[in-house]
Amino acid sequence: MTGFPDTLRHWRQARRLSQLDLALEAAVSARHISFLETGRARPSREMVTRLGDALAMPLSARNGMLVAAGFAPRYPARDWDDAAMAPVRAAIDHVLRNHQPYPALAIDRLWRVVDLNPAAARLFGALGVGAGDSLIDLLLSATLPQVVENWPEVAHHAARRLRTESAAMGGVEVLDRAATTLSEVPAPDGTVHAPVIPTILNAGGMRLSLFATLAQFGTPEDLLLEDLKIELYFPADDATREAFEAMA
């Protein structure tokens, strides 16, 4: 188990802050930060919380730092079916169902599908993905390069998003490894054709052009909810809009 001094140093360095920078953010002296990182001082529970805020640490990492400092974790990790999650499940269901006839799904921190609406079930089902499956596995499979017309652009942006999400969580091996693999796809030509890069699927005699927006919970106090993302897909052209309206 990593001790508190190493944990604090790891997150300070991950955020690219000097001890003085962190001291200013946490409203303590740089000397105290130095003592905490060398083990010459032990933090209070309130200090660990303050450092977690200053470092913008994810809830799971804050729990880990509390435990490393000798305190009980603060944030729970409820199951999706927990009774306390009922309002959340209802909210997500409302968003997904009302996004019909366009695809929408909810994914966790490792891009596993938690829930999806009927349009997404049809679209991703054709690609072999359903509830409980991983979108990362799909990204790394041989399927998408065969059916995505603009695969280099899609792979490039997926790699960038994976790296960004991993960095925010202090480094996640699964995300970093996937980003590295996708980075090996030959780079796009760099020409900007549109304000947003769509994913253009061409399979089974149908051509669909889609872009996505992401939504997250604004005040999570649970590990599952902090990592949960809702992806809403929209048609990038009239032909795609008409196709989904016809399928509905």
Alpha-helical runs (H) found in 16-58: 19-26, 30-38, 45-54
| Local confidence band at 189 (pLDDT 50, 70, 90 cut-offs) | confident
Give residue limits of the domains in the chain.
4-68, 83-247
What is the reported pTM?
A: 0.87
Helix axes 19-26, 45-54, angle to 10 degrees: 110
pLDDT at residue 235, rounded to an integer: 97
CATH 1.20.120.1460 is the classification of domain 83-247: no
Class of the CATH-defined domain 4-68: mainly alpha
At 121-165, the pLDDT tens digits run: 999 999 999 999 999 999 999 999 999 999 999 999 999 999 999
| Local confidence band at 2 (pLDDT 50, 70, 90 cut-offs) | confident
Task: Report how far residue 216's alpha carbon sits from residue 229's, in angstroms, rounded to the nearest whole number.
Answer: 5
From residue 207, how far is each of 14, 54, 100, 125, 200 by CA, in Å?
42, 47, 19, 16, 7
pLDDT at residue 27, rounded to an integer: 95
| Local confidence band at 196 (pLDDT 50, 70, 90 cut-offs) | confident
Task: Report how far residue 111's alpha carbon sits from residue 135's, in angstroms, rounded to the nearest whole number.
Answer: 6
Q: What's the rounded mean pLDDT across residues 15-20?
A: 96
Contact 199, 155 (CB under 8 A): no
| Local confidence band at 190 (pLDDT 50, 70, 90 cut-offs) | low
Amino acid, single-letter form, for residue 13: Q
Q: What is the DSSP letter of 207?
A: E
Cβ neighbours of 175 (radius 10 Å): 23
Q: What is the mean pLDDT of the chain?
A: 94
pLDDT at residue 24, rounded to an integer: 96
The secondary structure of the chain in percent helix, strand, coil, rounded to multiples of 5, reads 50, 15, 35
At 66-88, the pLDDT tens digits run: 999 999 999 999 988 999 999 99
